[in-house]
Amino acid sequence: MTALVWFRRDLRLHDNPALSAAQAEHEQLIPVFCLDERLLAGAHRSIPRTAFMHGCLRELNDDLRALGSRLIVRSARPEVALPQLAEETGADTVLAAADVSPFARRRDRATAAALDERGVRLRLLPGCFAVDDLGPIMSGAGTPYTVFTPFYKRWLQAPRRTVYGAPRQLPVVPAEIESAALPEPLGAPPSSGFAPGEAAGRERMLQFVETGSQGYAQNHDLVAEHGTSGLSPYLHFGCVSARELESLLPDTDDAAAARRQLCWRDFYAHVLLHHPGNAHHEQQERLRRRIKWNRSMSLFDAWREGRTGYPLVDAGMRELAATGYMHNRSRLVVGSFLVKDMGIDWRWGERWFMRMLLDGDEANNNGNWQWIASVGVDPQPPSRRMFNPTLQQRRFDPDGRYVRLHVPELRNVPDEYLAEPWTMPDEIQRRSGCIIGKDYPAPVLDHAQARLEAIARYAEAVQREA
């Protein structure tokens, strides 16, 4: 019998449960990808991420051809394309990796119904997360987790499947089965350091496991260091397997810190799976639609263009524009600055990140923005997640390498003024070639005052709820 292997966020050959099951259980398998217009022009449209995806698809097709197969591309919604392809090929099963977002689950329900009308079964397997099934991970009370630490303890105990190898050979796809042309990967960020595809992802993964994880616990927050894995774009598109990555991590404290970050990824997927409404509103009902947000476009533009006058914030936003990526510590700082200092709705930042990030992932992005906005899971008082950008810079970019790299107008500013360049005396501004208000903006706000206003804003929201 024939199976269709529907690639989505598992664009790899290694440790691909859907592909492995199809090869083990069916005489013929047809790899397929649906170029759904909702992926390209929907709510989370992103030119950089689409370009990365197109590059991944091209490499996947090359890898499949090397094994005797090829990727069939259909430019249509899957509920239309897959029943048609099943009829063309005589397939009785479609295999795919399960996902958790509201869009993915609606898509799968519609596709399963359309296939069922043709007598074809949609079978969902693991492949996107470290743990196979995030749904059954429940608290002792039988409810989904909304606090990370107890989830982490339970996650560590969850069973893990065997890691699959890559196939050595695949059946030839009949020549008469037509495929749309793969688009050119146009629109990549100007300075992206991420080559698309499984080969580049595996190279990073193996390097991180062998040597890169050493010092991870101590260095992963230092924004100028290459202290993180750099795997987030590859995990998002499934160019590498989260399960395989976890299985390769050594038994060290540094590797345990990296494993904990993988758990955060699974945690936010678990949260969105059980709370799909989080895609649109706050997890905490007591704050839902009760915070009075600032709708200043001029402040928002200053934030997204990296000209707030706070160097670490501006460096992060410029890194994002240039590379399609931002260090995780920087993401926390710029997120706190937008929501807490500027008082702008977290959803504005969430949408901008989804537009710009190569690793833009609905569950992770939504979870992190709600976390930093103090409206999501793992709740803490708003003041606990209100980061002082000056102190954060001094702690996590102590020699200023990150700021000077991404904000070149500050390159010659002396170290003692780099975190607060507006405090430079006029003579030092002239000698540094950086006149505040001309070469680099003055701060758009006063952090100390903004902090007081943020505390009052959240207190007012809670009182309004009462």
The whole-chain average pLDDT of the chain stands at 95
Last residue of one domain, picked from the residues 239, 274, 309:
274
Over residues 322-344, mean pLDDT: 97
pLDDT digits (tens, 9 = 90+) for 47-91: 999 999 999 999 999 999 999 999 999 999 999 999 999 999 999
CA distance 400 to 402: 6
Same domain, residue pair 297 and 440: yes
The answer to whether residue 466 scores a pLDDT higher than 90 is no
CA distance 350 to 84: 36
DSSP state at residue 165: P
Q: Which residue has the tokens 């099943």?
A: 86
Report yes or no: 63 and 200 within 8 Å, Cβ to Cβ: no
Evaluate the CA torsion angle 229, 233, 239, 240 in order and state its sign: positive
Same domain, residue pair 229 and 343: no
Report yes or no: 276 and 318 within 8 Å, Cβ to Cβ: no
CA-closest candidate to residue 90, choices 26, 33, 169, 36: 26
- Count of domains in the chain? 3
Same domain, residue pair 138 and 263: yes
pLDDT digits (tens, 9 = 90+) for 235-264: 999 999 999 999 999 999 999 999 999 999
CA-closest candidate to residue 18, choices 94, 95, 115: 95
Over residues 271-293, mean pLDDT: 95
Which domain covers residue 290, as residue numbers?
A: 285-465
184 within a domain of the structure (yes/no): no
Over residues 380-403, mean pLDDT: 95
Same domain, residue pair 221 and 98: no
Q: Which percentage of the chain shows pLDDT scores above 90?
A: 89
Rounded to 5, what percent of the chain is helix, strand, coil?
Answer: 50, 5, 40
Same domain, residue pair 146 and 266: yes
Same domain, residue pair 324 and 377: yes
pLDDT value at residue 464: 74
Report yes or no: 61 and 185 within 8 Å, Cβ to Cβ: no
pLDDT value at residue 61: 98
- For the domain that residue 255 is a member of, what is the CATH number? 1.25.40.80
**Residue 427 exposed, middle or buried by CB count within 10 Å (0-12, 13-18, 19+):** exposed
CA-closest candidate to residue 199, choices 62, 306, 301: 62
Q: How far is the first Cα of the chain from the last one, in angstroms, to the nearest whole number?
A: 62
Last residue of one domain, picked from the residues 215, 246, 274:
274
Instruction: Report how far apart, in Å, the C-alpha atoms of 317 and of each of 3, 48, 309, 311, 389 are.
Output: 45, 15, 12, 10, 13
- For the domain that residue 415 is a member of, what is the CATH number? 1.10.579.10
Report yes or no: 312 and 405 within 8 Å, Cβ to Cβ: no
138 within a domain of the structure (yes/no): yes
Provide DSSP, 238-294: TSS-HHHHHHH--SSHHHHHHHHHHHHHHHHHHHHHH-GGGGTS-SSGGGTTTS--B
pLDDT digits (tens, 9 = 90+) for 158-198: 999 999 999 999 999 999 999 999 988 888 888 889 999 99
CA-closest candidate to residue 346, choices 380, 311, 389, 300: 300
Same domain, residue pair 93 and 237: no
Neighbouring CB atoms inside 10 A of 37's CB total 12
pLDDT digits (tens, 9 = 90+) for 420-433: 999 999 999 999 99
pLDDT value at residue 152: 97
Same domain, residue pair 61 and 135: no
Same domain, residue pair 262 and 336: no
The radius of gyration computed from the CA coordinates of the chain, to the nearest angstrom, equals 24
Over residues 125-130, mean pLDDT: 97
Same domain, residue pair 13 and 121: yes
Write the single-letter amino acid at 49: R
- For the domain that residue 14 is a member of, what is the CATH number? 3.40.50.620
For residue 287 the two structure tokens come to 């704050």
Same domain, residue pair 122 and 232: no
The answer to whether residue 393 scores a pLDDT higher than 90 is yes
The answer to whether residue 412 scores a pLDDT higher than 80 is yes
Polymer length in residues for the chain: 466
pLDDT value at residue 465: 57
178 within a domain of the structure (yes/no): no
